[in-house]
Amino acid sequence: MDSIFTIDGVGYPGVGVESLTRSALIKDGQNAGELMSGEYERDLVGTYYHYTLVLSGMEPGSPDYDAMYEVLTAPVNSHQVVMPYGQGTLSFQAYIQNAGDALIAMTDTENWWGNLTIQFMAKKPQRVPD
């Protein structure tokens, strides 16, 4: 496998994955709430899987890192992403609200960027109630 993830069908093998975490948001709809009996009633919309990646360039002046940064920070509605899931992968539309990275080292000709933290938020639930 060249890249542990893809964005809009493109892998970035020159980008190192420092960490990849996923979280599951089991979201309630507008009809959820406490009943008069005190019991909480759920109005399940579904489960959204979100991923947070911390990434670094594998070398100073990494062209893959620079290209990926331009894609991730583009003012677009969403991206098609493929992430590890279970023993396979999960492909979904995700949006990005913010990105942050740090300059690791600098020479006269190259900048080495890393510690890019990015969160991919699912646009719609990947699982819905039966």
Averaged pLDDT score across all residues of the chain: 94
Look up residue 25 and give its two tokens: 């948001």
pLDDT of residue 1: 52
As a whole-number percent, the residues of the chain with pLDDT over 90 amount to 85
Q: What angle do CA 61, 75, 28 make, to 5 degrees?
A: 115
Q: How many alpha carbons lie under 13 Å from residue 81 in its C-beta half-sphere?
A: 26
- How far apart (Å, rounded) are the C-alpha atoms in residues 56 and 19? 10
- Whole-structure pTM value: 0.88
Per residue in 13-52, pLDDT (tens digit) is 889 999 999 999 999 999 999 999 999 999 999 999 999 9
Contacts of 113 (CB under 8 A, 6+ apart): 56, 57, 62, 65, 66, 69, 101, 102, 103, 104
Per residue in 77-95, pLDDT (tens digit) is 999 999 999 999 999 999 9
DSSP 12-23: -TTEEEEEEEEE
pLDDT of residue 59: 80
Question: Which helix (H) or strand (E) covers residue 63, if one does?
Answer: helix 63-72
- What the chain holds in terms of domains, given with CATH numbers, is 6-122 (2.40.30)
pLDDT of residue 61: 79
